[in-house]
Amino acid sequence: MNESQNYRGKESLASFLPKVKNAELLLLGGPEYFTEKEIARFLKHHGTVLAAETGEEVAAVIEGRRMKPEEEMVSEALYGDGVPHYRIAELERLMSEELGEREVLMSLKLGYDAERLLRLIENEYLADELFLKLLKLWRWEADDLMEGESDARILSALLKRFLDAGNYESDIYYSPVSLLRLIRETESPEVLGALVGWPGFTFRQQRGRSITLHEVIASREGLDRRSIEALRRRKEAAVDRALAANQAIGAEGIESYLARHDGVLDRALAANAALAIEHFAELAERGEAVAEALAAFQRIDTERLEILIRHFGWKNLPEALAENPRIDPEAFERILAKSEESFRRRLAANPALPPQSAEMLTESEDERILEALASNPAVGEETLRKIRERFGEKTERIDEALAANPSTPAELLEAFYETGREPLLTALAGNPSTPMEILHQLKLDFRFYPSVSQNPTFVDRANFEMGMR
């Protein structure tokens, strides 16, 4: 039954209430988000009364949660008499929609009521905007997430509202680690802003490492100006490092951190995607470690390349530059033309490899360069075919690289399967571009089943066939 209709399917509670002035409504069972006193005040405001007991004047029944057996009998009797029945969810939704945001917030600030605040935060019918404002008022009871019962309910309410668990992951609403997932996935500056004022909860990670709540928030590019300022006021080294690398801080924030002349912050700034050319040039003069970080993480055009060349010289350009996926095509060609073989091997594997550069590298006699090309998904199909035609017969390593490359044309993948060679079949088992009919054959062999079972193409297809997606 649609909860916007009564049991007789005639009209919603919102349209029913104005028609029954001075009538009595009977509540059976308990409410969830409001107290009976709050419900009585709401009904009185609408000109009706919450009945104290069953009587002939009952105009409608509100069925609450967890009704007692005797209440169920009363409900069935009144239903038989034609009395309209409504669900408590419909009444609570109406009450939630009519809540005065200003009045609610003011009353809680003047007199903190943890029980009422908890009920409001768990109220699924409240607008997100009011929910987030209420969330900022909560006074945490424990030092760790999920340690206190009420704290755990607050976190679960947040996760249920903003984290989509799908049909088979509802348990994640009760895990502190899910808060990390929410922070990393949300696109809402308001959600991030509501979490900035939370205590510095620590999340334990692999190998004994840990990260704080505010470090994770500080790394998100969706932060607004108010949240950034609040995080900076914490004056925590780890939070400042995360902010320094975050392009959300803008030019003003970058210049503020530059003014500190702090080596750790300088290396973090070197990874900030919002660096202007003047910031890039200034950081390039602050030591080898900072300059190498610039070469590894920044977008490199010809102007920035010149700055790096002035600092390192052509022969000493850091190898991290060759692996930088943000090199512009013109700068890439200049680097390739000047580089030596060891540097070119890394350039050949770079996901930013331009087509014309890939074509040029196919002329190399260095087997390791050709192998890097053969494994690079950025290389086009025609170039991969050319590599196979010219060099595939000379070395198994190139064939293995091609067999694992998701950009390799289907006809080559099928040809590799026909060889029956175990190294090639192993590579095909993990390649997401391997045709499904081949994957189905490979899964029957215990040698390849582990790789096939982790292949995203195979997993997606299997989930689809089982109706899970």
Determine if residue 250 is left, alpha or beta; phi over 0 gives left, psi from -120 to 50 gives alpha, anything else beta.
left
Both 152 and 174 in one domain: the answer is: yes
At 3, the amino acid letter reads E
Tell me the mean pLDDT in the region 200-216.
Answer: 86
Residue where one domain finishes, among candidates 167, 194, 209: 209
Please answer whether residues 343 and 318 qualify as being in contact, where contact means their C-beta atoms are separated by less than 8 angstroms.
no
Q: Is residue 138 part of a domain?
A: yes
pLDDT digits (tens, 9 = 90+) for 13-30: 988 998 888 889 999 998
Both 19 and 59 in one domain: the answer is: yes
Task: Count the neighbouring beta carbons within 10 Å of the beta carbon of residue 348.
Answer: 26
- List 50's β-bridge partners, or say none: 25
Cα–Cα distance measured from residue 117 to residue 130, given in angstroms and rounded to the nearest whole number? 12
Q: Is residue 248 part of a domain?
A: no
At 102, the amino acid letter reads R
Cα–Cα distance measured from residue 69 to residue 76, given in angstroms and rounded to the nearest whole number? 11
Both 82 and 164 in one domain: the answer is: no
Closest to 224 measured CA to CA, from 189, 188, 267, 272: 189
Domain that holds residue 50: 13-97
Q: Is residue 38 part of a domain?
A: yes
Task: Count the neighbouring beta carbons within 10 Å of the beta carbon of residue 363.
Answer: 9
Alpha carbon 352 to its chain centroid, in Å, reads: 25
Cα–Cα distance measured from residue 290 to residue 274, given in angstroms and rounded to the nearest whole number? 16
Q: What is the mean pLDDT of the chain?
A: 90
CA angle 254–258–259, rounded 5-degree value:
120
Q: Is residue 147 part of a domain?
A: yes
Both 168 and 137 in one domain: the answer is: yes
What's the domain count of the chain?
2
According to the model, what pLDDT value does residue 170 have?
72
- Which of 288 and 81 is assigned the larger pLDDT? 288
According to the model, what pLDDT value does residue 365 have?
85
pLDDT digits (tens, 9 = 90+) for 256-267: 999 999 999 999
Closest to 417 measured CA to CA, from 433, 432, 397, 434: 434
Determine if residue 82 is left, alpha or beta; phi over 0 gives left, psi from -120 to 50 gives alpha, anything else beta.
left
Place of tokens 């190294």: 423
pLDDT surpassing 60 at residue 9: no
Strands (E) located in 136-289 = 202-204, 210-212
pLDDT surpassing 80 at residue 355: yes
Residue where one domain finishes, among candidates 97, 119, 147: 97
Tell me the mean pLDDT in the region 265-279.
Answer: 96
pLDDT digits (tens, 9 = 90+) for 43-95: 999 999 988 776 668 889 999 988 999 999 999 988 888 889 999 999 999 99
Both 33 and 116 in one domain: the answer is: no
pLDDT surpassing 60 at residue 142: yes
Q: Is residue 52 part of a domain?
A: yes
359: confidence class by pLDDT, cuts 50, 70, 90: very high
pLDDT surpassing 80 at residue 135: yes
Q: Is residue 197 part of a domain?
A: yes
Residue where one domain finishes, among candidates 209, 226, 243: 209
Cα–Cα distance measured from residue 141 to residue 225, given in angstroms and rounded to the nearest whole number? 29
Cα–Cα distance measured from residue 119 to residue 131, given in angstroms and rounded to the nearest whole number? 11
Q: What percent of the chain has pLDDT over 90?
A: 72
According to the model, what pLDDT value does residue 7 have?
54
Cα–Cα distance measured from residue 176 to residue 166, given in angstroms and rounded to the nearest whole number? 18
At 267, the amino acid letter reads R
Tell me the mean pLDDT in the region 99-116.
Answer: 91
pLDDT surpassing 60 at residue 467: no
Please answer whether residues 8 and 79 qualify as being in contact, where contact means their C-beta atoms are separated by less than 8 angstroms.
no
1: confidence class by pLDDT, cuts 50, 70, 90: very low
- Which of 460 and 250 is assigned the larger pLDDT? 250
Both 35 and 117 in one domain: the answer is: no
Both 58 and 125 in one domain: the answer is: no
CATH number of the domain bearing residue 75: 3.40.50.10190
Q: Is 387 exposed, middle or buried (0-12, 13-18, 19+ CB in 10 A)?
A: buried
Both 91 and 47 in one domain: the answer is: yes
Both 89 and 140 in one domain: the answer is: no
According to the model, what pLDDT value does residue 167 have?
64
According to the model, what pLDDT value does residue 80 have?
87
Tell me the mean pLDDT in the region 251-279.
Answer: 96
Q: Is residue 128 part of a domain?
A: yes
Both 140 and 81 in one domain: the answer is: no
Q: What are phi and psi of 267, to 5 degrees?
A: -65, -35
Lowest mean pLDDT among 61-65, 236-240, 424-428: 61-65
Question: What residues contact 396, with CB distance under 8 A and at least 6 apart?
Answer: 421, 423
Q: Are strands 202-204 and 210-212 parallel, antiparallel or unpaired?
A: antiparallel
